[in-house]
Amino acid sequence: MLVEQVFSCHKISEGKASGEVLFSTDDFCFYLVDPKTGIVIEKNHCLEGRSIAGKVLVFPNGKGSSVVQADGMYQLKMNGTEPKALIIKNPDTTLVASAIIMETPMVDRVEDSFYTAAQDGDYVEVDADKGTITVRKK
Amino acid sequence: MKLTKEEQAMLDGKYGPGTALAMKIQVAIGEAYNAEKMVAVSRTHVALSNQEADLWFVEKLVAGGAVCRVSPTVNPGFNLEYFQGITTIAPEDEAIIKRTREAYRKIGATLTYNCTPYLEKNVPRFGEITSYSESSATPFINSVYGARTNREAAQSALCAAVTGVAPLYGYLLDENRRGQILVEVEADIKNDFDYQLLGYVTPKKTGFKIPVFSGMPLNPKPEALMNLGAQLNTGGNVALYHIVGVTPEAKTLEDAFQGEKPAEMVTITNQDLKEMHEALTDKGGKIDFALFGCPHFTINQVATVAKLVEGKKLAVPLWIMTSSLTTELAKRMGYLDILRAAGGDLAQDTCMDQPCWHFLYGKKGVTDSPKCAYYTRRRDMSFVIRSLEESVEIALRGEC
Protein backbone atom coordinates (compact mmCIF):
# COMPACT_ATOMS: atom_id res chain seq x y z
CA MET A 1 0.00 0.00 0.00
CA LEU A 2 1.28 3.44 -0.88
CA VAL A 3 1.53 5.71 2.13
CA GLU A 4 1.68 9.43 1.39
CA GLN A 5 2.48 12.14 3.91
CA VAL A 6 2.73 15.89 3.40
CA PHE A 7 4.96 18.21 5.44
CA SER A 8 5.19 21.98 5.42
CA CYS A 9 8.36 23.91 4.59
CA HIS A 10 9.56 27.38 3.57
CA LYS A 11 10.74 28.37 0.09
CA ILE A 12 14.33 29.50 -0.43
CA SER A 13 14.79 28.80 -4.13
CA GLU A 14 11.70 28.42 -6.29
CA GLY A 15 10.58 25.36 -8.24
CA LYS A 16 9.23 21.84 -7.90
CA ALA A 17 11.17 18.59 -8.21
CA SER A 18 11.09 15.02 -7.02
CA GLY A 19 13.33 12.01 -6.56
CA GLU A 20 14.64 9.50 -4.06
CA VAL A 21 15.54 11.12 -0.80
CA LEU A 22 19.09 10.90 0.57
CA PHE A 23 19.95 12.06 4.08
CA SER A 24 23.31 13.49 5.06
CA THR A 25 23.97 13.94 8.75
CA ASP A 26 27.13 15.87 7.84
CA ASP A 27 27.26 19.37 6.38
CA PHE A 28 27.62 19.47 2.64
CA CYS A 29 30.06 21.01 0.16
CA PHE A 30 29.06 20.53 -3.49
CA TYR A 31 32.60 21.05 -4.69
CA LEU A 32 33.76 17.83 -3.05
CA VAL A 33 31.58 15.73 -5.36
CA ASP A 34 32.85 14.16 -8.57
CA PRO A 35 30.87 16.04 -11.26
CA LYS A 36 31.03 13.12 -13.70
CA THR A 37 29.33 10.66 -11.35
CA GLY A 38 27.76 12.71 -8.56
CA ILE A 39 29.73 10.63 -6.04
CA VAL A 40 30.86 12.35 -2.83
CA ILE A 41 34.68 12.41 -2.61
CA GLU A 42 35.09 14.27 0.68
CA LYS A 43 37.27 12.30 3.09
CA ASN A 44 35.37 11.00 6.14
CA HIS A 45 32.03 12.43 4.96
CA CYS A 46 29.04 10.25 5.89
CA LEU A 47 28.11 10.07 2.17
CA GLU A 48 31.67 9.44 0.92
CA GLY A 49 31.46 7.05 -2.03
CA ARG A 50 27.69 7.54 -2.53
CA SER A 51 26.01 9.39 -5.38
CA ILE A 52 23.78 12.46 -4.96
CA ALA A 53 22.82 12.50 -8.65
CA GLY A 54 19.06 12.82 -9.13
CA LYS A 55 18.40 12.70 -5.40
CA VAL A 56 16.49 14.99 -3.08
CA LEU A 57 19.35 15.78 -0.73
CA VAL A 58 18.63 16.50 2.93
CA PHE A 59 21.45 18.00 5.00
CA PRO A 60 21.94 20.22 8.04
CA ASN A 61 24.15 23.03 6.66
CA GLY A 62 26.13 24.01 3.64
CA LYS A 63 29.86 24.44 4.08
CA GLY A 64 32.74 25.70 2.02
CA SER A 65 34.09 29.01 0.82
CA SER A 66 32.24 31.61 -1.18
CA VAL A 67 32.83 30.13 -4.62
CA VAL A 68 32.86 26.40 -4.20
CA GLN A 69 29.12 25.81 -3.73
CA ALA A 70 28.20 27.55 -7.00
CA ASP A 71 31.17 26.05 -8.86
CA GLY A 72 30.33 22.57 -7.59
CA MET A 73 26.60 22.86 -8.32
CA TYR A 74 27.21 24.27 -11.79
CA GLN A 75 29.51 21.40 -12.78
CA LEU A 76 27.03 18.83 -11.48
CA LYS A 77 24.29 20.51 -13.50
CA MET A 78 26.36 20.58 -16.68
CA ASN A 79 27.00 16.85 -16.26
CA GLY A 80 23.40 16.03 -15.34
CA THR A 81 24.52 14.66 -11.98
CA GLU A 82 22.96 17.38 -9.79
CA PRO A 83 20.54 16.68 -6.96
CA LYS A 84 16.93 17.47 -7.95
CA ALA A 85 16.12 19.47 -4.83
CA LEU A 86 17.70 20.47 -1.53
CA ILE A 87 16.23 20.36 1.97
CA ILE A 88 18.31 22.17 4.56
CA LYS A 89 18.08 23.01 8.26
CA ASN A 90 20.27 26.13 8.47
CA PRO A 91 20.60 27.94 5.15
CA ASP A 92 23.70 30.14 4.74
CA THR A 93 23.95 32.99 2.27
CA THR A 94 26.52 31.27 0.07
CA LEU A 95 24.32 28.25 -0.50
CA VAL A 96 21.11 30.26 -0.80
CA ALA A 97 22.63 32.45 -3.52
CA SER A 98 24.05 29.42 -5.32
CA ALA A 99 20.73 27.53 -5.33
CA ILE A 100 18.83 30.58 -6.60
CA ILE A 101 21.35 31.26 -9.36
CA MET A 102 21.52 27.59 -10.39
CA GLU A 103 17.69 27.37 -10.24
CA THR A 104 17.75 24.36 -7.91
CA PRO A 105 14.64 24.18 -5.70
CA MET A 106 15.60 24.52 -2.04
CA VAL A 107 13.52 24.68 1.15
CA ASP A 108 14.10 25.04 4.88
CA ARG A 109 11.98 25.22 8.09
CA VAL A 110 10.64 21.71 7.53
CA GLU A 111 8.28 20.19 10.10
CA ASP A 112 10.31 18.12 12.57
CA SER A 113 8.25 14.98 11.92
CA PHE A 114 9.59 14.83 8.35
CA TYR A 115 12.99 13.82 9.69
CA THR A 116 11.57 10.73 11.41
CA ALA A 117 8.95 9.91 8.76
CA ALA A 118 11.22 9.81 5.71
CA GLN A 119 14.13 7.45 5.13
CA ASP A 120 16.79 7.06 2.45
CA GLY A 121 15.22 5.75 -0.74
CA ASP A 122 11.69 7.07 -0.11
CA TYR A 123 10.24 9.03 -3.02
CA VAL A 124 9.96 12.70 -2.13
CA GLU A 125 8.44 15.65 -3.97
CA VAL A 126 9.55 19.16 -3.01
CA ASP A 127 7.26 22.01 -4.07
CA ALA A 128 9.09 25.12 -2.92
CA ASP A 129 6.44 27.50 -4.26
CA LYS A 130 3.61 25.83 -2.33
CA GLY A 131 5.85 25.15 0.67
CA THR A 132 5.20 21.39 0.79
CA ILE A 133 7.22 18.18 0.88
CA THR A 134 5.35 15.00 -0.04
CA VAL A 135 6.82 11.65 1.03
CA ARG A 136 5.82 8.35 -0.60
CA LYS A 137 7.14 5.31 1.26
CA LYS A 138 8.74 2.48 -0.70
CA MET B 1 10.30 43.28 0.01
CA LYS B 2 9.87 47.02 -0.05
CA LEU B 3 12.00 48.44 -2.85
CA THR B 4 12.87 52.08 -3.51
CA LYS B 5 11.95 53.59 -6.88
CA GLU B 6 15.50 53.17 -8.10
CA GLU B 7 15.70 49.53 -6.92
CA GLN B 8 12.37 48.80 -8.59
CA ALA B 9 13.65 50.45 -11.79
CA MET B 10 16.70 48.18 -11.72
CA LEU B 11 14.43 45.16 -11.24
CA ASP B 12 12.14 46.29 -14.06
CA GLY B 13 15.00 46.45 -16.54
CA LYS B 14 15.53 50.22 -16.85
CA TYR B 15 19.31 49.60 -16.67
CA GLY B 16 19.28 46.52 -18.87
CA PRO B 17 18.79 42.79 -18.31
CA GLY B 18 22.12 42.26 -16.48
CA THR B 19 21.27 44.71 -13.71
CA ALA B 20 17.70 43.36 -13.61
CA LEU B 21 19.00 39.80 -13.10
CA ALA B 22 21.34 40.97 -10.32
CA MET B 23 18.44 42.68 -8.55
CA LYS B 24 16.12 39.69 -9.08
CA ILE B 25 18.63 37.40 -7.38
CA GLN B 26 19.06 39.80 -4.48
CA VAL B 27 15.29 40.07 -4.00
CA ALA B 28 15.05 36.24 -3.93
CA ILE B 29 17.80 36.08 -1.29
CA GLY B 30 16.12 38.85 0.68
CA GLU B 31 12.79 36.99 0.59
CA ALA B 32 14.43 33.74 1.69
CA TYR B 33 15.63 35.60 4.80
CA ASN B 34 12.49 37.75 5.26
CA ALA B 35 14.47 40.97 4.68
CA GLU B 36 12.25 44.04 4.69
CA LYS B 37 14.35 46.16 2.38
CA MET B 38 17.66 46.73 0.65
CA VAL B 39 20.50 48.75 2.11
CA ALA B 40 23.31 50.62 0.29
CA VAL B 41 26.76 48.99 0.38
CA SER B 42 29.94 51.07 0.37
CA ARG B 43 32.45 48.33 -0.54
CA THR B 44 32.34 44.97 -2.26
CA HIS B 45 34.73 42.10 -2.89
CA VAL B 46 34.07 39.28 -5.34
CA ALA B 47 35.69 35.90 -4.92
CA LEU B 48 36.45 35.50 -8.61
CA SER B 49 37.27 31.79 -9.01
CA ASN B 50 38.03 31.46 -12.73
CA GLN B 51 35.85 28.37 -12.81
CA GLU B 52 32.97 27.59 -15.12
CA ALA B 53 30.18 28.88 -12.85
CA ASP B 54 32.07 32.08 -12.11
CA LEU B 55 32.70 32.81 -15.77
CA TRP B 56 29.20 31.78 -16.83
CA PHE B 57 27.63 34.20 -14.35
CA VAL B 58 29.85 37.25 -14.89
CA GLU B 59 29.60 36.87 -18.67
CA LYS B 60 25.82 36.62 -18.37
CA LEU B 61 25.72 39.92 -16.45
CA VAL B 62 28.15 41.57 -18.90
CA ALA B 63 26.12 40.38 -21.89
CA GLY B 64 23.11 42.01 -20.20
CA GLY B 65 24.97 45.31 -20.03
CA ALA B 66 25.67 45.29 -16.27
CA VAL B 67 28.34 47.62 -14.90
CA CYS B 68 29.28 47.79 -11.21
CA ARG B 69 28.03 50.77 -9.22
CA VAL B 70 30.41 49.83 -6.37
CA SER B 71 33.57 48.49 -8.01
CA PRO B 72 34.63 45.25 -6.27
CA THR B 73 38.17 44.10 -5.64
CA VAL B 74 38.53 40.51 -6.86
CA ASN B 75 40.16 37.22 -5.91
CA PRO B 76 42.98 35.63 -7.90
CA GLY B 77 42.63 33.13 -10.71
CA PHE B 78 46.13 32.36 -11.93
CA ASN B 79 48.96 34.34 -13.45
CA LEU B 80 48.89 33.08 -17.03
CA GLU B 81 52.14 34.72 -18.14
CA TYR B 82 54.11 33.39 -15.15
CA PHE B 83 52.86 29.82 -15.48
CA GLN B 84 53.41 29.76 -19.23
CA GLY B 85 57.07 30.39 -18.37
CA ILE B 86 57.38 27.43 -15.99
CA THR B 87 54.92 24.85 -17.35
CA THR B 88 52.45 24.15 -20.15
CA ILE B 89 49.01 25.71 -19.87
CA ALA B 90 46.30 23.81 -21.74
CA PRO B 91 44.53 25.87 -24.42
CA GLU B 92 41.18 25.56 -22.59
CA ASP B 93 42.74 26.83 -19.33
CA GLU B 94 44.35 29.75 -21.17
CA ALA B 95 41.03 30.56 -22.81
CA ILE B 96 39.07 30.56 -19.53
CA ILE B 97 41.51 32.83 -17.63
CA LYS B 98 41.57 35.28 -20.54
CA ARG B 99 37.77 35.34 -20.67
CA THR B 100 37.56 35.74 -16.88
CA ARG B 101 39.93 38.72 -16.89
CA GLU B 102 38.06 40.31 -19.78
CA ALA B 103 34.62 39.83 -18.24
CA TYR B 104 35.64 41.31 -14.87
CA ARG B 105 37.36 44.22 -16.63
CA LYS B 106 34.19 44.91 -18.64
CA ILE B 107 31.91 44.79 -15.61
CA GLY B 108 34.08 47.40 -13.95
CA ALA B 109 35.86 45.41 -11.23
CA THR B 110 39.08 46.59 -9.61
CA LEU B 111 41.51 43.92 -10.84
CA THR B 112 43.52 43.25 -7.68
CA TYR B 113 43.53 39.41 -8.06
CA ASN B 114 44.15 39.09 -4.34
CA CYS B 115 42.25 37.18 -1.63
CA THR B 116 43.29 39.45 1.28
CA PRO B 117 41.63 42.73 0.22
CA TYR B 118 41.04 43.48 3.89
CA LEU B 119 44.79 44.06 4.35
CA GLU B 120 45.28 46.17 1.23
CA LYS B 121 43.04 48.11 -1.20
CA ASN B 122 39.66 47.44 0.41
CA VAL B 123 39.76 48.14 4.13
CA PRO B 124 36.47 49.14 5.78
CA ARG B 125 35.84 51.22 8.89
CA PHE B 126 33.86 50.08 11.94
CA GLY B 127 30.15 49.65 11.24
CA GLU B 128 30.44 50.04 7.47
CA ILE B 129 27.83 48.05 5.48
CA THR B 130 29.58 46.01 2.79
CA SER B 131 29.21 42.90 0.67
CA TYR B 132 32.25 40.60 0.69
CA SER B 133 32.68 37.10 -0.58
CA GLU B 134 35.85 35.06 0.09
CA SER B 135 36.12 32.86 3.14
CA SER B 136 39.16 34.51 4.70
CA ALA B 137 37.71 37.97 4.09
CA THR B 138 34.23 37.81 5.62
CA PRO B 139 35.42 36.91 9.16
CA PHE B 140 38.12 39.59 9.01
CA ILE B 141 35.69 42.28 7.83
CA ASN B 142 33.06 41.38 10.42
CA SER B 143 35.17 40.42 13.38
CA VAL B 144 38.44 42.34 13.24
CA TYR B 145 37.09 45.62 11.81
CA GLY B 146 33.53 45.38 13.06
CA ALA B 147 32.30 46.27 9.57
CA ARG B 148 29.28 44.32 8.35
CA THR B 149 28.86 41.74 5.63
CA ASN B 150 26.95 38.54 5.19
CA ARG B 151 28.84 35.47 4.12
CA GLU B 152 28.25 36.21 0.46
CA ALA B 153 28.75 33.87 -2.45
CA ALA B 154 30.95 35.27 -5.20
CA GLN B 155 27.80 35.69 -7.29
CA SER B 156 25.70 37.45 -4.67
CA ALA B 157 28.57 39.86 -3.90
CA LEU B 158 28.82 40.59 -7.62
CA CYS B 159 25.07 41.33 -7.65
CA ALA B 160 25.63 43.80 -4.79
CA ALA B 161 28.52 45.40 -6.71
CA VAL B 162 26.26 45.83 -9.74
CA THR B 163 23.20 47.15 -7.88
CA GLY B 164 25.02 48.98 -5.08
CA VAL B 165 22.67 47.47 -2.49
CA ALA B 166 22.20 44.28 -0.49
CA PRO B 167 19.19 42.80 1.31
CA LEU B 168 19.12 43.88 4.96
CA TYR B 169 19.35 40.74 7.07
CA GLY B 170 21.78 38.52 8.95
CA TYR B 171 25.07 40.04 10.07
CA LEU B 172 24.02 43.48 8.83
CA LEU B 173 21.70 43.73 11.87
CA ASP B 174 22.88 44.37 15.45
CA GLU B 175 20.91 41.53 17.03
CA ASN B 176 22.45 38.89 14.76
CA ARG B 177 26.00 39.83 15.73
CA ARG B 178 25.61 38.72 19.33
CA GLY B 179 27.99 35.96 20.43
CA GLN B 180 26.23 32.61 20.74
CA ILE B 181 28.72 30.29 22.39
CA LEU B 182 31.65 30.86 24.70
CA VAL B 183 34.89 29.18 23.69
CA GLU B 184 37.29 28.93 26.62
CA VAL B 185 40.72 28.53 25.08
CA GLU B 186 42.85 26.51 27.49
CA ALA B 187 45.22 25.52 24.69
CA ASP B 188 48.47 27.48 24.46
CA ILE B 189 48.20 29.82 21.50
CA LYS B 190 51.88 30.46 20.86
CA ASN B 191 52.23 31.14 17.16
CA ASP B 192 50.32 31.84 13.94
CA PHE B 193 49.97 28.11 13.25
CA ASP B 194 48.05 27.59 16.50
CA TYR B 195 45.45 30.03 15.13
CA GLN B 196 45.09 27.81 12.05
CA LEU B 197 44.36 24.75 14.20
CA LEU B 198 42.13 26.67 16.59
CA GLY B 199 40.15 28.01 13.61
CA TYR B 200 39.70 24.61 12.05
CA VAL B 201 38.75 22.75 15.24
CA THR B 202 36.38 25.32 16.77
CA PRO B 203 33.38 24.70 14.44
CA LYS B 204 33.62 20.96 15.26
CA LYS B 205 32.52 21.95 18.76
CA THR B 206 30.46 25.07 18.16
CA GLY B 207 28.66 24.17 14.93
CA PHE B 208 27.52 27.29 13.16
CA LYS B 209 27.07 29.48 16.21
CA ILE B 210 29.00 32.74 16.58
CA PRO B 211 31.95 31.87 18.82
CA VAL B 212 33.30 34.17 21.51
CA PHE B 213 36.90 33.27 22.32
CA SER B 214 38.18 33.92 25.77
CA GLY B 215 41.65 33.31 27.19
CA MET B 216 43.44 34.37 24.01
CA PRO B 217 46.59 36.47 23.58
CA LEU B 218 45.58 40.13 23.69
CA ASN B 219 47.56 41.65 20.83
CA PRO B 220 47.51 39.20 17.90
CA LYS B 221 49.18 40.08 14.60
CA PRO B 222 47.06 40.47 11.44
CA GLU B 223 48.52 37.19 10.13
CA ALA B 224 47.22 35.32 13.18
CA LEU B 225 43.71 36.70 12.69
CA MET B 226 43.86 36.06 8.96
CA ASN B 227 44.64 32.42 9.73
CA LEU B 228 41.96 32.14 12.38
CA GLY B 229 39.23 33.50 10.10
CA ALA B 230 40.26 31.51 7.03
CA GLN B 231 40.15 28.23 8.94
CA LEU B 232 36.96 29.00 10.91
CA ASN B 233 35.27 29.58 7.59
CA THR B 234 36.74 26.42 6.02
CA GLY B 235 36.28 24.03 8.95
CA GLY B 236 32.81 25.55 9.31
CA ASN B 237 30.76 28.48 8.03
CA VAL B 238 31.93 30.99 10.59
CA ALA B 239 31.97 34.51 9.12
CA LEU B 240 31.79 36.32 12.46
CA TYR B 241 33.56 35.67 15.75
CA HIS B 242 34.59 37.70 18.75
CA ILE B 243 37.73 37.62 20.89
CA VAL B 244 37.24 39.14 24.32
CA GLY B 245 39.55 42.11 24.75
CA VAL B 246 40.69 42.03 21.13
CA THR B 247 37.90 42.53 18.58
CA PRO B 248 35.86 45.75 18.62
CA GLU B 249 32.45 44.28 19.45
CA ALA B 250 33.91 42.33 22.39
CA LYS B 251 35.58 44.82 24.68
CA THR B 252 34.28 42.63 27.51
CA LEU B 253 32.57 39.24 27.69
CA GLU B 254 29.28 41.00 28.37
CA ASP B 255 29.80 43.20 25.32
CA ALA B 256 30.34 40.13 23.11
CA PHE B 257 27.05 38.59 24.24
CA GLN B 258 25.26 41.97 24.11
CA GLY B 259 24.52 41.89 27.81
CA GLU B 260 23.21 38.33 27.94
CA LYS B 261 24.77 35.40 29.74
CA PRO B 262 26.49 32.84 27.49
CA ALA B 263 23.98 30.00 27.07
CA GLU B 264 26.62 27.47 26.07
CA MET B 265 30.29 26.95 26.63
CA VAL B 266 32.99 24.70 25.19
CA THR B 267 36.65 24.33 26.04
CA ILE B 268 39.53 23.91 23.61
CA THR B 269 42.64 22.21 24.93
CA ASN B 270 46.12 21.43 23.63
CA GLN B 271 44.84 17.89 23.06
CA ASP B 272 42.07 19.22 20.76
CA LEU B 273 44.61 21.11 18.66
CA LYS B 274 46.87 18.06 18.53
CA GLU B 275 44.05 15.73 17.42
CA MET B 276 42.86 18.21 14.79
CA HIS B 277 46.38 18.53 13.45
CA GLU B 278 46.76 14.75 13.21
CA ALA B 279 43.41 14.42 11.40
CA LEU B 280 44.31 17.13 8.85
CA THR B 281 47.88 16.33 7.92
CA ASP B 282 49.32 13.66 5.69
CA LYS B 283 51.59 11.25 7.55
CA GLY B 284 54.77 12.61 6.02
CA GLY B 285 57.80 11.02 4.45
CA LYS B 286 59.26 12.31 1.21
CA ILE B 287 57.66 15.46 -0.20
CA ASP B 288 57.67 16.88 -3.72
CA PHE B 289 56.98 20.60 -3.24
CA ALA B 290 56.09 23.38 -0.77
CA LEU B 291 53.13 25.71 -1.32
CA PHE B 292 52.24 28.74 0.80
CA GLY B 293 49.91 31.69 0.54
CA CYS B 294 46.40 30.38 1.17
CA PRO B 295 45.33 33.06 2.00
CA HIS B 296 47.89 35.23 0.17
CA PHE B 297 51.00 35.82 2.26
CA THR B 298 51.79 39.20 3.71
CA ILE B 299 55.24 40.76 3.32
CA ASN B 300 56.01 39.68 6.90
CA GLN B 301 55.35 36.04 6.03
CA VAL B 302 57.41 36.32 2.85
CA ALA B 303 60.23 37.76 4.98
CA THR B 304 59.99 34.80 7.40
CA VAL B 305 60.46 32.34 4.54
CA ALA B 306 63.24 34.36 2.91
CA LYS B 307 65.21 34.51 6.16
CA LEU B 308 64.91 30.74 6.65
CA VAL B 309 66.17 29.88 3.15
CA GLU B 310 68.77 32.62 2.75
CA GLY B 311 72.05 31.16 1.45
CA LYS B 312 70.60 27.62 1.37
CA LYS B 313 69.24 25.30 -1.32
CA LEU B 314 65.71 23.96 -1.13
CA ALA B 315 65.39 20.19 -1.77
CA VAL B 316 62.02 20.75 -3.47
CA PRO B 317 60.44 23.66 -5.37
CA LEU B 318 58.67 26.20 -3.16
CA TRP B 319 56.04 28.74 -4.14
CA ILE B 320 54.45 31.55 -2.17
CA MET B 321 51.18 32.90 -3.54
CA THR B 322 50.77 36.60 -2.90
CA SER B 323 49.49 39.91 -4.22
CA SER B 324 51.12 42.17 -6.80
CA LEU B 325 51.79 44.74 -4.08
CA THR B 326 53.58 42.23 -1.84
CA THR B 327 55.51 40.93 -4.85
CA GLU B 328 56.70 44.46 -5.58
CA LEU B 329 57.71 44.94 -1.94
CA ALA B 330 59.55 41.59 -1.96
CA LYS B 331 61.50 42.73 -5.01
CA ARG B 332 62.44 46.04 -3.44
CA MET B 333 63.41 44.43 -0.16
CA GLY B 334 65.55 41.70 -1.75
CA TYR B 335 63.38 38.79 -0.60
CA LEU B 336 62.52 37.66 -4.11
CA ASP B 337 66.21 37.34 -5.04
CA ILE B 338 66.86 35.33 -1.87
CA LEU B 339 63.93 33.01 -2.56
CA ARG B 340 64.94 32.46 -6.18
CA ALA B 341 68.56 31.79 -5.27
CA ALA B 342 67.33 29.04 -2.93
CA GLY B 343 65.10 27.51 -5.61
CA GLY B 344 61.80 29.09 -4.54
CA ASP B 345 59.59 31.75 -6.12
CA LEU B 346 56.58 33.99 -5.68
CA ALA B 347 53.41 33.18 -7.61
CA GLN B 348 51.72 36.54 -7.92
CA ASP B 349 47.94 36.93 -8.41
CA THR B 350 47.41 33.17 -8.13
CA CYS B 351 45.21 30.83 -6.08
CA MET B 352 46.12 27.23 -5.15
CA ASP B 353 42.81 25.94 -6.51
CA GLN B 354 43.65 26.58 -10.17
CA PRO B 355 44.59 24.38 -13.14
CA CYS B 356 48.01 26.06 -13.46
CA TRP B 357 49.25 23.70 -10.71
CA HIS B 358 48.52 20.57 -12.82
CA PHE B 359 52.19 19.54 -12.63
CA LEU B 360 51.72 18.97 -8.88
CA TYR B 361 48.65 16.71 -9.18
CA GLY B 362 49.19 13.31 -7.59
CA LYS B 363 52.12 14.70 -5.60
CA LYS B 364 52.69 15.44 -1.95
CA GLY B 365 53.47 18.91 -0.66
CA VAL B 366 54.02 20.74 2.57
CA THR B 367 52.00 23.80 3.62
CA ASP B 368 51.04 25.74 6.72
CA SER B 369 47.37 26.04 5.68
CA PRO B 370 44.63 23.45 6.30
CA LYS B 371 42.47 25.44 3.87
CA CYS B 372 45.03 24.88 1.12
CA ALA B 373 44.95 21.13 1.77
CA TYR B 374 41.13 20.98 1.92
CA TYR B 375 40.36 22.59 -1.42
CA THR B 376 43.09 20.82 -3.40
CA ARG B 377 41.54 17.41 -2.75
CA ARG B 378 39.77 17.75 -6.11
CA ARG B 379 43.18 18.16 -7.70
CA ASP B 380 44.62 15.04 -6.09
CA MET B 381 47.28 16.92 -4.15
CA SER B 382 48.09 15.79 -0.61
CA PHE B 383 49.74 17.85 2.09
CA VAL B 384 51.82 17.55 5.19
CA ILE B 385 50.63 20.48 7.32
CA ARG B 386 53.05 22.15 9.73
CA SER B 387 53.84 25.59 11.10
CA LEU B 388 55.39 27.93 8.55
CA GLU B 389 58.87 27.61 10.07
CA GLU B 390 58.70 23.80 10.22
CA SER B 391 57.28 23.65 6.69
CA VAL B 392 60.24 25.59 5.33
CA GLU B 393 62.67 23.30 7.19
CA ILE B 394 60.90 20.30 5.62
CA ALA B 395 61.18 21.90 2.17
CA LEU B 396 64.93 22.38 2.75
CA ARG B 397 65.30 18.68 3.68
CA GLY B 398 62.76 17.28 1.21
CA GLU B 399 61.16 15.06 3.83
CA CYS B 400 59.75 15.03 7.32
Mean pLDDT of chain A: 93
Q: Which residues make Cβ contacts (< 8 Å) with residue B213, sequence separation at least 6?
A: B183, B185, B198, B241, B242, B243, B244
Q: Give A42-98 pLDDT, tens digit per residue.
A: 988 999 999 999 999 999 988 877 788 898 999 999 999 999 999 999 888 889 999
Taking an 8 Å cut-off on Cβ atoms, the answer to whether A67 and B49 are in contact is yes
- Chain B, residues 8-27, CB within 8 A of chain A, namely 25
Residue B305 pLDDT > 90, yes or no? yes
Q: Is A37 on the interface with B (CB under 8 A)?
A: no
Q: Is A66 a catalytic residue?
A: no
The mean per-residue pLDDT over the stretch B384-392 comes to 97
Nearest to B25 among A42, A78, A101 (CB): A101
Q: With contacts defined as CB-CB under 8 Å, which chain B residues touch A71?
A: 49, 51-54
Q: Is B278 on the interface with A (CB under 8 A)?
A: no
Q: Is A62 on the interface with B (CB under 8 A)?
A: yes
Measured between alpha carbons, how far is residue B51 from residues B14, B55, B66, B78, B86 in Å?
30, 6, 20, 11, 22
Query: What proportion of chain B, given as a percentage, has pLDDT over 70?
Result: 100
pLDDT at residue number A1 = 62
Strand partners, A19: A124
Dihedral Cα A109, A111, A117, A118, nearest 10 deg: -20
Taking an 8 Å cut-off on Cβ atoms, the answer to whether B237 and A62 are in contact is yes
Q: Which residues make Cβ contacts (< 8 Å) with residue B252, sequence separation at least 6?
A: B244, B245
pLDDT at residue number A12 = 94
CA distance B148 to B127: 6
Q: Give B110-148 pLDDT, tens digit per residue.
A: 999 999 999 999 999 999 999 999 999 999 999 999 999
Q: How far is A1 from chain B (nearest CA, A)?
A: 37
- The answer to whether residues B138 and B149 touch, using CB atoms and an 8 Å cutoff, is yes
Q: Is B375 on the interface with A (CB under 8 A)?
A: yes
CA distance B41 to A29: 28
Nearest by Cα to B53 from A22, A80, A76: A76
pTM to 2 decimal places? 0.93
- Residue A71 has, within 13 A of its CA and on its CB side, a CA count of 23
Q: Give B26-83 pLDDT, tens digit per residue.
A: 999 999 999 999 999 999 999 999 999 999 999 999 999 999 999 999 999 999 999 9
Residue B397 pLDDT > 70, yes or no? yes
DSSP notation for B5-27: HHHHHHHTTTT-HHHHHHHHHHH
Query: What proportion of chain B, given as a percentage, has pLDDT over 90?
Result: 95
| End-to-end CA gap in chain B | 57
Q: Give B151-210 pLDDT, tens digit per residue.
A: 999 999 999 999 999 999 999 999 999 999 999 999 999 999 999 999 999 999 998 899
The mean per-residue pLDDT over the stretch B326-349 comes to 98
Q: How far is B182 from chain A (nearest CA, A)?
A: 20
The amino acid sitting at A83 is: P
Taking an 8 Å cut-off on Cβ atoms, the answer to whether A67 and B152 are in contact is no
Q: Which residues make Cβ contacts (< 8 Å) with residue B336, sequence separation at least 6?
A: B327, B330, B345, B346
Pairing mode, if any, of strands B242-243 and B265-268?
unpaired
